[in-house]
Structure 1
Amino acid sequence: MGLLSNDERKDCATVSVIIPVYNTENYLEECIGSVVGQDYTNLEIILINDGSTDRSGFICKKWKAIDSRIKYVEKENEGQGIARNLGIRMATGKYLIFVDSDDYIEHNLVSQVYSRITEEKADICVYASCGIGDKGNGGGLEFKLAKGTYVEANRELLGQMIPILCNKMFSVGLLRRTGVSMNNRMCEDLVFNARIYMEAEKICFLDMSLYNYRYLREGNFSTNYGRYYEVEESIQELNELFLREDRFDKYWQQLYEISFNMFKTILFRIRVWKEYDVPPEMKNRYPEFFRSYKRFLSRWFRQYLTMELQEKNFLLVGSYSLRVTVHAMLLNEEYLRSDYASSSIVSLMSNPCYGIEKPTLKGRKSEAGNCGNVSVHARIIADRLDALLESARWKNPYRKRCVEQDIRKHFKFHAVLEEKDYVAVDLLEEIFDLVEIGDGCYITESEFLREAGLKSLEGCVRIPFLSAARRELFRRYVPLFAKKLKQADVRVIVVKNFLCEKHGEYYDRLTEYDSTEYSSGRLYSLEKIRETNRELEWCYGYLLQCLPDAIVVDALEFQELEFTHDAFPFGREPVYYNSGYYQRMAIRINQGIRSILESAWLSELKSNIEVYDRIFLVREDEQEAEKLLDAFLKSRALRKTKFKVLVLSAMTYKNWGQELMQKMPSLAIGENGIGTGGMAEYKQITEENARFLLSLYHMYEFSDRFRLISTREICGSLFQLADTGLLSREEVWEAMLD
């Protein structure tokens, strides 16, 4: 154990290290040893044995006898959250960190983080962690700030928050001041972190991988499948907290990002991640978790977003950045059914090469027609491209597939758009040169193609983006592209992505691209980027002339996120952004879709109000909704009026007409549902649409014709009277129809 340095003696600052221990005998020696061996020695080490039944207690006592800085407590098993709360109460240091007893830390963690947090005079310092499993799992912070700040000044602090405790040093004074504690649910640290973040006066970052996290151990969060349902409860607590404190509307986007990303992580682990030995029974419950998380997000964020798109089919035409954005929007990325990244629209819609075009589906002849007149040059290049596809070394199969689709004109001849609900388009791939093969065939000299090598294209003419010839080609082929989409009657989303003018490692310290910077062999100057973006703006304008009904989204509301992260996996190219941008653009796409759906529903609702005398939206669970509708059928209201009534509910009511005839025979309902008295029609809607209509009900003022039926809502107070016995539910329905 090292001696205190002069500086440490001078300020007498201490750091408390809290280690909850429960049945981790196989890892505990390494964990405690890594803490005891820190090069910053002025530590208080608190070991809390939370009722371990293995040799963990013996190991703790052994270390306590060796090192006087260790405090050891034994208690009955109550869970990690309660053990951490006890550690906070026991801590005497100015700062504290949490270490899980199956993990270990680098020898300089405390000294490096303590130096940073005191230098910044911050309440929290966030540092990087590295996963220890079958493979190394990263290291380094994607979101980080060069200067400390607080949530009110930079909301990305909350939205990009890593919801674990073990990569942060906290001011003990802040914890005591706020009185925040943890419960024993899974993800209890998510709620704890968010609450502390909101109260911190300053949060700083240290981009050093100092904490080693064993994420595949049986019993930890990643593999404790039986407790995954608790995550929803923790996020519910978090949202309710912000709602109570009147902060929800202000921070809803950040809360959505936290909720969505946590749910998506769990779903991904269940469905995809091969490193996790997920039990078959848990895999079989995937649809149950998916529906539950989707309902949760809809319940909390329906005023801003729609979750209906989570089970819609998407097709993508555009850049890799667009692909990342669409993935960031979907809980299950498999709903991105197909994508045509790394291709310009001109290339997609141009003629195929001789020898490259494959037979179309069902054995139909190619639209290329007779190849007998194809030039010798085109045949030679086509043969070279065939060889390229077979022999090139690709970084991954996805890149090869994208290039192959571009060369073989898969979109033009084989894309089945009718099975898709949305087509997302951006134009970033237009910036790359077009290679003219001949006979009306063009391919995109994309990053993916350049990776495979360009020898096959020697002797071919390049058509640069910033040229009159290229604009003319765009004018020629975009109408063909738009026609194909219109014929499929598919909704189009145009995402206006542009080249980034800035790049940086930190979100708050950016540098403009200049002519001395090269990335992947290309030169990007600020002047060239701006000229390219002006031409892209023209291209988007022309595309929207051809697709006037498209949903258009842009980054005007978050321009501070328009930069390339220096650590982007595929290089510092201005066609790439950062995780904050992708998540925010995903939200913008969702908002754009919701706006269209809202307009459609609002229009339909207004039309129905003109047709029906009363429209009732029944908002209850299935059992309660059935009781309410039975009371409606038993009431005499329709016998006394000639009202035309439309009842909307998410409940399945298969025998509505039969029940109506049985309970109201005097209506003499005919084939069209209209009798001598009133008329009652029932329409089942989706749960998502029911919530959507509920939000419309609260957002817009309608006439008395549109009414909410609920025993829980304020607007359903008459039915609350029925529950007290003052009125029967049948009498309440009669009052509603009066």
Structure 2
Amino acid sequence: MAQISVIVPVYQVEAYLPQCIDSILAQTFTDFELILVDDGSQDRSGAICDEYAGKDNRICVVHTQNRGAAAARNTGLQRASGNYIAFVDGDDRLAENMLGRMYAAILDPPCDLVVCNFLHVFSEEKNNFSPPLQNIAISGREVLAHQKNQKNYGLWTVVWNKLYKRTVLETLRFPEGKYFEDEFFSDQLYLRCASIRVIPDVLYFYRVRESSTMNTQKTRNYLDLIDAFRARIELYLEQALPVDEVYKILIFLLEPYAKCASAHLQGEDRRRLLQSREFIRKTAKILQKMDVSPMKKCSLPVIGLFPCATFRVAVKFRGLLEKYL
């Protein structure tokens, strides 16, 4: 049994997949299995997976119908046998010491999750950048307490710059059929992590493509992002996490809500939007009764009654509002 299971959901990435797989096979840490889940690709991605599997017995290939990245990752988790889990997107690549550096960090001192820094890789190299990170140890609840502010320790909702202790993921799966699945996944993940190590090393290279899923979202798909923020607000209230953080999540929810409200959705999509409208109103009322600043307390009735208008004002006066709210 390998120590680390590396899971790669593969879909329509034939141009980038060889570089991705090569970067994994070139790791200085070699005690891993590589699970390539071909999510019904129509290009040569599936064939490329099979070609690599014929050359290295550490590679397992699973071909499935197209069901999305969440289902592909879940399929990989079902096949994984390692004590630790890593996710890699099929168009990204790793530094050759990533697995070794992360494995050493998760063992000493023992922790549930290790997070590394990453580089945004654009088609024009001059635009590449990596966010600033500090070498720290924290708990999952601390992360949740600062998820939507500047002190979030660099622990974004993305899943691919992390090494997970297998036991943390035993009962945790990605919501299938949802867009923005990382948003749903991350909250439950951090609740399960008593100890997290953050290291500033840039070990993951995230390719930013105009044709990627995040950059081609249809307006109605933002209903799923609204649902993710709604679930997060409910979780924060249930777990008695900071009310100021709940307020910020509510503010973040206004953007996808405004996108959907302006799209004249119909049928089931319209019903979901109206439910979200009522959720915003009720949440604003709940927060009004809690210990928030006078400025926030005054803003909540407006948010509850006029969410779209509030978002437009927030965008126009963002700098000023961030200073006082």
* TM surpasses 0.5: yes
Equivalent position amino acid for 2:56 in 1:
D
Task: Show the counterpart of 2:175.
Answer: 182
How much identity, in percent, do the aligned residues show?
25
User: How far apart, CA to CA, are the structure 2 residues paired with 1:332 and 1:77?
Assistant: 40
Kindly indicate whether residue 39 of structure 2 is the aligned counterpart of residue 58 of structure 1: no
Task: Show the counterpart of 1:506.
Answer: none
Which aligned pairs between 1:579-598 and structure 2 lie closer than 5 A?
586=324, 589=325
User: How far apart, CA to CA, are the structure 2 residues paired with 1:300 and 1:52?
Assistant: 42
Q: 1:154 to 1:97 in 2, by over 3 A?
A: closer
Q: 1:59 to 1:175 in 2, by over 3 A?
A: same
Kindly indicate whether residue 32 of structure 2 is the aligned counterpart of residue 43 of structure 1: yes
User: How far apart, CA to CA, are the structure 2 residues paired with 1:132 and 1:307?
Assistant: 42
Which aligned pairs between 1:694-709 and structure 2 lie closer than 5 A?
none
Question: Contact 2:98–2:203 at 8 Å: present in 1 too?
Answer: yes
Q: TM-score of the superposition, structure 1-length normalised?
A: 0.36
**Which of residues 20, 30, 33 in structure 1 aligns to 2:22?**
33
Residue 13 of structure 1: how far off its partner (Å): 6.5
Task: Show the counterpart of 1:221.
Answer: 214
Kindly indicate whether residue 207 of structure 2 is the aligned counterpart of residue 254 of structure 1: no
Kindly indicate whether residue 285 of structure 2 is the aligned counterpart of residue 302 of structure 1: yes
User: How far apart, CA to CA, are the structure 2 residues paired with 1:206 and 1:256?
Assistant: 29
User: How far apart, CA to CA, are the structure 2 residues paired with 1:157 and 1:134?
Assistant: 32
Map Cα deviations across residues 42-69 of structure 1 (whole Å, 9 max, x no partner): 1110001111121111110011111111
User: How far apart, CA to CA, are the structure 2 residues paired with 1:122 and 1:257?
Assistant: 29
Structure 2, gaps ≥5 residues long: 265-269, 288-296
User: How far apart, CA to CA, are the structure 1 residues paired with 2:191 and 2:143?
Assistant: 11
User: How far apart, CA to CA, are the structure 2 residues paired with 1:98 and 1:24?
Assistant: 16
Q: TM-score of the superposition, structure 2-length normalised?
A: 0.77
Partner of 1:302: helix, strand, or coil?
Answer: helix
Partner of 1:139: helix, strand, or coil?
Answer: coil
**Which of residues 89, 93, 117 in structure 1 aligns to 2:82?**
93
User: How far apart, CA to CA, are the structure 2 residues paired with 1:148 and 1:262?
Assistant: 29
Equivalent position amino acid for 1:221 in 2:
M
User: How far apart, CA to CA, are the structure 1 residues paired with 2:53 and 2:201?
Assistant: 30
Equivalent position amino acid for 1:225 in 2:
K
Residue 223 of structure 1: how far off its partner (Å): 2.1
Question: Contact 2:53–2:61 at 8 Å: present in 1 too?
Answer: yes
Task: Show the counterpart of 2:156.
Answer: 162
Map Cα deviations across residues 276-334 of structure 1 (whole Å, 9 max, x no partner): xxxxxx9x749xx9x9888754443432251626979xxxxxxxxxxxxxxxx966654
Task: Show the counterpart of 2:72.
Answer: 83
Question: Contact 2:84–2:163 at 8 Å: present in 1 too?
Answer: yes
Task: Show the counterpart of 1:172.
Answer: 166
Q: 1:309 to 1:256 in 2, by over 3 A?
A: closer
Equivalent position amino acid for 1:96 in 2:
I
Q: 1:89 to 1:225 in 2, by over 3 A?
A: same
Task: Show the counterpart of 1:205.
Answer: 198
Residue 225 of structure 1: how far off its partner (Å): 2.7
User: How far apart, CA to CA, are the structure 2 residues paired with 1:214 and 1:59?
Assistant: 19
User: How far apart, CA to CA, are the structure 2 residues paired with 1:259 and 1:43?
Assistant: 41
User: How far apart, CA to CA, are the structure 2 residues paired with 1:104 and 1:24?
Assistant: 12
User: How far apart, CA to CA, are the structure 2 residues paired with 1:129 and 1:258?
Assistant: 25
Q: 1:166 to 1:154 in 2, by over 3 A?
A: closer
Equivalent position amino acid for 1:51 in 2:
G
Which aligned pairs between 1:438-477 and structure 2 lie closer than 5 A?
none
Equivalent position amino acid for 2:316 in 1:
Y
User: How far apart, CA to CA, are the structure 1 residues paired with 2:250 and 2:119?
Assistant: 23
Residue 214 of structure 1: how far off its partner (Å): 2.4
Question: Contact 2:136–2:199 at 8 Å: present in 1 too?
Answer: no
Question: Contact 1:150–1:157 at 8 Å: present in 2 too?
Answer: no
Map Cα deviations across residues 479-508 of structure 1 (whole Å, 9 max, x no partner): xxxxxxxxxxxxxx9xxxxxxxxxxxxxxx
Kindly indicate whether residue 178 of structure 2 is the aligned counterpart of residue 195 of structure 1: no
Question: Contact 1:218–1:224 at 8 Å: present in 2 too?
Answer: no
Kindly indicate whether residue 137 of structure 2 is the aligned counterpart of residue 148 of structure 1: yes
Instruction: Please give the root-mean-square deviation of Cα atoms over the aligned residues, in Å.
Output: 3.6
**Which of residues 15, 20, 24 in structure 1 aligns to 2:4?**
15
Map Cα deviations across residues 671-702 of structure 1 (whole Å, 9 max, x no partner): xxxxxxxxxxxxxxxxxxxxxxxxxxxxxxxx
Higher relative contact order (CA 8 A, sep 6+): 2
User: How far apart, CA to CA, are the structure 2 residues paired with 1:137 and 1:262?
Assistant: 28
**Which of residues 228, 231, 242 in structure 2 aligns to 1:234?**
228
Partner of 1:148: helix, strand, or coil?
Answer: strand
Q: 1:110 to 1:173 in 2, by over 3 A?
A: same
Partner of 2:15: helix, strand, or coil?
Answer: helix
Larger gyration radius, structure 1 or structure 2 = 1
Kindly indicate whether residue 324 of structure 2 is the aligned counterpart of residue 335 of structure 1: no
Q: 1:231 to 1:68 in 2, by over 3 A?
A: same
Residue 74 of structure 1: how far off its partner (Å): 0.9
Q: 1:77 to 1:256 in 2, by over 3 A?
A: farther
Q: 1:40 to 1:52 in 2, by over 3 A?
A: same
Residue 335 of structure 1: how far off its partner (Å): 2.5
Residue 236 of structure 1: how far off its partner (Å): 2.7
Q: 1:255 to 1:42 in 2, by over 3 A?
A: farther
Question: Contact 2:141–2:190 at 8 Å: present in 1 too?
Answer: no
Equivalent position amino acid for 1:85 in 2:
N
User: How far apart, CA to CA, are the structure 2 residues paired with 1:23 and 1:29?
Assistant: 12
Map Cα deviations across residues 617-662 of structure 1 (whole Å, 9 max, x no partner): xxxxxxxxxxxxxxxxxxxxxxxxxxxxxxxxxxxxxxxxxxxxxx
Task: Show the counterpart of 1:126.
Answer: 115
Q: 1:59 to 1:230 in 2, by over 3 A?
A: same
Residue 158 of structure 1: how far off its partner (Å): 4.2
User: How far apart, CA to CA, are the structure 2 residues paired with 1:157 and 1:126?
Assistant: 16
Equivalent position amino acid for 2:62 in 1:
V
Q: 1:103 to 1:155 in 2, by over 3 A?
A: closer
How many pairs does the alignment contain?
A: 297
Equivalent position amino acid for 1:254 in 2:
E
Deviation larger for 157-166 or 251-260: 251-260
Q: 1:267 to 1:139 in 2, by over 3 A?
A: farther
Q: 1:67 to 1:13 in 2, by over 3 A?
A: closer
Kindly indicate whether residue 59 of structure 2 is the aligned counterpart of residue 70 of structure 1: yes
Which aligned pairs between 1:184-583 and structure 2 lie closer than 5 A?
184-226=177-219, 227-241=221-235, 246-247=238-239, 249-258=240-249, 260-261=251-252, 264=255, 285=263, 297-304=280-287, 305=297, 306=300, 308=302, 333-336=314-317
Equivalent position amino acid for 1:126 in 2:
V
Question: Contact 1:267–1:331 at 8 Å: present in 2 too?
Answer: no
User: How far apart, CA to CA, are the structure 2 residues paired with 1:89 and 1:300?
Assistant: 37
Map Cα deviations across residues 256-292 of structure 1 (whole Å, 9 max, x no partner): 444544765x699x8xxxxxxxxxxx9x749xx9x98
User: How far apart, CA to CA, are the structure 2 residues paired with 1:210 and 1:262?
Assistant: 31
